[in-house]
Amino acid sequence: MDNKLQDYLETFRSKRATVLGIGVSNTPLIRLLAGVDAKVTACDKMDREDLGELAEEFDALGVTLRLGQDYLEGLPDTDFVFRSPGIRPDVPEITELVQRGAKLTSEMEAFLSLCPCPIIGVTGSDGKTTTTTIIAKLLEEAGHTVWLGGNIGRPLLGEVPHMKPTDICALELSSFQLMTATTSPGVAVVTNMFPNHLDVHKDMDEYIRAKENIYLHQDAAGRLIINHDNEITVKFGPKAHGSVTYFSRQTKLEDGFFLLDGTLWMAHGGQETAIIRRSDIKLPGIHNVDNYLAAFAATEGLVPPEIWRKVASEFGGVEHRIEFVRSLHGVRYYNDSIASSPTRTIAGLRSFDQKVILIAGGYDKQIPFDELGEELNLRVKHLFLTGHTAEKIKDCAETAPGASESTLAITLCDDLTACVKSAAAVAEEGDVVILSPACASFDQFKNFDERGKRFKQLVLELE
């Protein structure tokens, strides 16, 4: 085992460690802590039946399980408390533990401090998964050994022993993971910032402050990559402790990465280098120009321009992100389940040069749909809505500017199954049907992945 990781784990030997949330990221952490004889208590709202064989494994490791809806109530004193990204750090139960002497931390904070190789961290409201994946693809194609993980779904703390200083980590970071972070990656990318997750964050200011932890703890050697076109991220530059690189698809930059006359460019010291024509990028949508500009900036000096061009012209995208599912009777079906905010759905709609049939709606994150309403009237021919936000989105579409002249048809459906069948029934040859919900999935599905897979299954069952 890596000496740094072993030394870190030794600090927990015979100590009490409470882990809140038994999910993808915390399961390897629990195993590591139990391996050094820490007195581990693992807490989760799931019951033993939901945990399945994992409950038996933890029993064998000597882990104490606190399960059920009241798992946070009456927590015993502990030396350390590891917070799941889905749990706010200031819930009363955690605050009480900290007041009684517990140190609050998380699996991600441990990884950020222990990773032995350089980290390129990516956050933002939209595009962070695609950008992180593109960065990993670019690095791999250039011959680097790459570790891809974080919020993208793969916890990396348990992989630290296998990492070498010459490797590179491409790490997606959510606002929840960053809320209490005190370590920043050496290279930090912020794709953009829009209202999001306001059902969890107290307000937009808190959401922004959480995201800023990706770069605020850098030193002079750190690099910050930010969106020059976004009114929030452009204000981050003066606060950075290291160098700052901007990217833009709206402005020609004297120094940075930008889109001009249909070509992506790099400019430094008065010298401009053409990278690739936008039309040669395989991924559809103008938002993917942003993603590539950010990825090029993040990998500058690590990946040569010829590799940038090769990957951009060949990479077909990530599952659930405007993912082509099938063509049936001349109708193309796309899965954009990752679009859990209005801005993501707007970006998806703008990826097509025709009006589409849209399936949307879901869990309410308390984000306004005003801007989406106008886009729906401009870019959608038939809107199928389901979930908690169905009426809310319908109202925004019907009262948006231009609604009175719009030909938008709106249908409310009981569930995703009804949406898909109804959309298929009205679709004609040449149409595009896309699932791009503008909302989280939690009213009907565990996560966007489950929702997207269900959509694809329903589409593939169509005859």
Residue type at 449?
D
Convert the pLDDT of each residue in 253-265 to its tens digit.
999 999 999 999 9
Q: Report pLDDT for 352.
A: 87
> In residues, how long is the chain?
463
pLDDT band at 392 (very low <50, low <70, confident <90, very high): very high
Instruction: Residue 255: name the closest of 221, 225, 292 by CA.
Output: 225
Q: What are phi and psi of 226, to 5 degrees?
A: -135, 155
% of the chain beyond a pLDDT of 90: 75
pLDDT at res. 201:
67
Position 2 scores a pLDDT of 63
Alpha-carbon span 247 to 255, nearest angstrom: 9
Query: Mean per-residue pLDDT for 13-42?
Result: 93
Residue 34 lies in a domain: yes
Question: Average of pLDDT values for 299-323?
Answer: 91
- The reported pLDDT for the residue numbered 199 is 66
The pLDDT of residue 279: 93
Mean pLDDT along residues 211-233? 97
d(CA 227, CA 342): 19
Give strand pairing partners of 18: 41, 81
| 112-156: pLDDT as tens digits | 999 999 999 999 988 898 999 999 999 999 999 999 999 887 889
- Give the pair of three-digit tokens for residue 148: 């891809």
Q: pLDDT tens, 215-224?
A: 999 999 999 9
Q: Are residues 249 and 285 in the same domain?
A: yes
Three-class secondary structure of residue 72 per DSSP = coil
Would the pLDDT of 351 be above 90? no
Domain end call among 270, 290, 314? 314
At 71, which helix (H) or strand (E)?
none
Condensed to tens digits (0 to 9), the pLDDT of residues 236-246 reads 999 999 999 99
pLDDT score at 427: 96
Indicate whether 101 and 114 sit together in one domain.
no
pLDDT, position 200: 66
Give the chain's domain count: 3
pLDDT, tens only, 364-388: 888 889 889 999 999 999 999 999 9
Last residue of a domain, one of 272, 294, 314: 314
Q: Is 378 exposed, middle or buried (0-12, 13-18, 19+ CB in 10 A)?
A: middle
C-alpha to C-alpha distance for 45 and 169, rounded to whole angstroms: 32
The parent domain of residue 158 ranges over 109-314
Give the CATH number, domain containing residue 88.
3.40.50.720
**pLDDT tens string 193-202:** 987 666 666 7
User: How far does the chain reach from its first CA to its final CA, in angstroms?
Assistant: 54
Distance from C-alpha of 300 to C-alpha of 294, rounded to nearest angstrom = 10
Complete DSSP assignment for 282-328: SS-STHHHHHHHHHHHHTTTTS-HHHHHHHHHH----TTSSEEEEEE
pLDDT in tens, 276-290: 999 999 888 888 999
- What average pLDDT does range 390-404 have in this prediction? 92
CATH number for the domain spanning 184: value is: 3.40.1190.10
- Per the domain annotation, does 1 fall within a domain? no
Instruction: Tell me the C-alpha to C-alpha distance, in Å, between residue 172 and each of 72, 248, 256.
Output: 28, 21, 22
25 vs 227, residue with greater confidence = 227
If asked whether residues 450 and 435 sit together in one domain, one would say yes
Q: Are residues 377 and 238 in the same domain?
A: no
30 occurs within a structural domain: yes
State residue 196's pLDDT score. Answer: 63
H or E segment and range at residue 146:
strand 146-150
Mean pLDDT of the chain: 93
Contact in structure between 312 and 280 (CB atoms under 8 Å): yes
**Which one of 297, 314, 331 terminates a domain?**
314
* Residue 334, pLDDT above cutoff 80: yes
Q: Are residues 164 and 301 in the same domain?
A: yes
Kindly state whether residue 116 falls inside one of the protein's structural domains: yes
Do 307 and 181 belong together in one domain? yes
- In the numeric block, the tokens 């990773």 are attached to 115
Residue 462 pLDDT > 70, yes or no? Answer: yes
Tens-place pLDDT, residues 57-112: 999 999 999 999 999 999 999 999 999 888 888 899 999 999 999 999 999 999 99
Q: Is the pTM of this model over 0.85?
A: no
Same structural domain for residues 375 and 438? yes
Q: Is 101 in the same domain as 113? A: no
Q: Domain with 337 in it: what CATH number?
A: 3.90.190.20
| pLDDT of res. 138 | 98
Q: Do 328 and 285 share a structural domain? A: no
Q: What is the pLDDT of residue 13?
A: 94
353 and 286 co-located in one domain: no
